[in-house]
Chain A
């Protein structure tokens, strides 16, 4: 399936608007409709932004497998936007923790990050996203060169598991949700591994074979 530039633009605007819906819901809940956020609005916001960070991370990681399976090359044009939304929701998530939970007490926050493994891991994941966000522009890709840029952006394969681990360790008892995220992540990373293994096995024998 091919997409005309006009259609691509419309689709991009639509995806952008859609990606802002979770944020809009939180802002509206905080300012106008308190019943949307329930008895503990701060916790609701922290959880929701954390959830959406992980969801966008998985959606971003799904772009390449989907593109390969469907042959829709234009999907690649959405990857940067989705990756940046992952980072964006991650930053809002951190901001809600810093403000609502710790009321900006920097000393306490630093202690918390060092002392508690689930926070260390989550903070680490967000920190690793920073260079990816910074180098997401076309100019930066050119400056780094495609090979180095690609290498740097493989950090996402570390960030993904760290993000899921953060969620896993945070949960008090019921692991259902983190397990679901972990399974999807395993599927998305496993796909890449399988493709890679197949390519390296198949390459010497049949050079002309199409990638899976």
Chain B
């Protein structure tokens, strides 16, 4: 990237989160206050609204959206992480038991230099804040200020061979703390995969944090994939193994419902889920699903070329 921005300011530094979330209320109160001359109506001092996890420094990125991020409390309380239960409130309750130390990511397969990378090494890669739209296959969406590094940085470390056509991402399997894996809801461990050019695309990141802090467990700590133009389930959480392979891998959701969840799973308003429309979405925490869903989740300018000439209805 040619465009360099100062790397020391995060939105969370500029405006306190709690203050930001209550901006309308604040404006109203401020207006009322000025009318009544009663400054006591102003909200009490604004405290931190994040979980107060370890801070991360990250450069801002021109690839970020300017849309308002979804409130931290929603981002960390409404999660699909089936290893910890199928209800969206489950992960926030149960994922605290996830064993994070030691954490290594094995990078192997069609590569010249297979590596086992400790989370400490990954945190030393150049981190950026990427504010991305996240569209779930269930027709809701959020805007999340991720912190992470481009996946292609990992590729550089291991040097994929010419045979590397796909990349497989394997999620941690810790049956002793994952109450959800007792049920055969999906095949465990959870496996997701991308075509190599999708994985190498600058929008594809491995995230290690959000809202200026390390990832909460329920969001896929300590390191997860984020592919903003695909449905959320493509972005595997708590990754322990990355495999460069020649053949297109079978992913967990493809195995579970091949007619409902395709390998590509690009956000596409014209390809309905068999059981619901994908034309519109609900931006959390809105009541009405009044947002029109965009092809490639609005990242078409950057990624449409990856699929030139492909029938997106066939390769859904």
List chain A positions with a Cβ less than 8 A from chain B. Answer: 30, 34, 38-43, 99-103, 108, 112, 115-116, 118, 169-170, 172-174, 176
Contact = CB atoms under 8 A, between A and B. Distances in A.
8 contacts: A38-B77, A39-B73, A40-B282, A41-B285, A103-B289, A116-B275, A118-B275, A169-B275
Main secondary structure of the interface of B (DSSP, over half): loop
Given A108-B279, A173-B186, A174-B185, A38 B289 contact: no
A115 B279 CA distance: 15
B86 A174 contact: yes
B307 interface: no
Contacts of A101: 139, 276, 282, 289
B86 A39 contact: no
A99 B288 contact: yes
Given A39-B77, A43-B140, A170 B289 contact: no
B78 interface: yes
A49 to B, nearest CB: 14
Contacts of A172: 86, 138
Contact of B78 (A39, A115, A170): A39
Q: What are the 6 closest A-B residue pairs judged by CB atoms, nearest first?
A: A39-B78, A39-B74, A174-B86, A173-B185, A42-B287, A39-B284
Contacts of B89: 38
Contacts of B290: 103
A116 B282 contact: no
B52 interface: no
A100 B285 CA distance: 12
Given A42-B287, A173-B185, A174-B183, A103 B280 contact: yes
Nearest to B183: A174
